[in-house]
Chains A and B, each alone.
Chain A
Amino acid sequence: DAGVIQSPRHEVTEMGQEVTLRCKPISGHDYLFWYRQTMMRGLELLIYFNNNVPIDDSGMPEDRFSAKMPNASFSTLKIQPSEPRDSAVYFCASSRGQGFADTQYFGPGTRLTVL
């Protein structure tokens, strides 16, 4: 398996622009997670899905952020409009389940820079 695939790997945009990050989870995994990593706040869970349904979006910073999972093999995280403080590395992860021993596999991340 290719693992979790994220695109783009790097994104540089200007404040106010819309940004869309993409993720393809590992086939057969029922859970998909979006994380954000910054120097100041470390690694934070933004939202996760179970069988394409959003379960907990309490980590989404504000209404400018939205996430969708239209099918089992694809998810997007959208920021509109983007702001400089959104600059971070965004990780997608997937797992079979959510209990003990249900390992989350992380993608390589998308490094977002908002100017």
Chain B
Amino acid sequence: GESVGLHLPTLSVQEGDNSIINCAYSNSASDYFIWYKQESGKGPQFIIDIRSNMDKRQGQRVTVLLNKTVKHLSLQIAATQPGDSAVYFCAEILRTGGFKTIFGAGTRLFVKA
């Protein structure tokens, strides 16, 4: 898939280090938030989500932190591996009768071996 390309923020980390990817969201009424990973030539893939009434949620090697005061979301990847190289998107989901999903611009993560 064609990720949002040349103008994406980029994070470069050494293999084995921890990565922190940040996202600012826009709507304080968002119901929950999702992090997606998109590898080159593929569609976005769900990583982890978090409800708006939570501050932190952990998965396998990933942790999402939510700071509603400043409308900030972060994704922490422990012991980053070459396979983690991808574009990462945050998404906020608003309950508006139905649900509305708003994606962030994305961050490109490079993992150096």
Contact = CB atoms under 8 A, between A and B. Distances in A.
B5 A39 contact: yes
Given A55-B98, A101-B49, A42 B103 contact: yes
B16 interface: no
B49 A100 contact: yes
Given A100-B32, A109-B1, A109-B43, A45 B101 contact: yes
The 10 closest A-B pairs by CB, nearest first: A106-B43, A43-B103, A109-B1, A89-B2, A103-B46, A98-B99, A42-B4, A100-B32, A89-B1, A106-B44
22 contacts: A38-B2, A38-B4, A39-B2, A39-B6, A42-B89, A42-B104, A42-B105, A43-B4, A43-B103, A43-B106, A48-B98, A50-B98, A56-B98, A89-B1, A93-B43, A98-B99, A99-B99, A101-B49, A103-B46, A107-B43, A108-B43, A111-B2
Interface of B: 1-7, 31-32, 41-46, 49, 51, 89, 98-101, 103-106
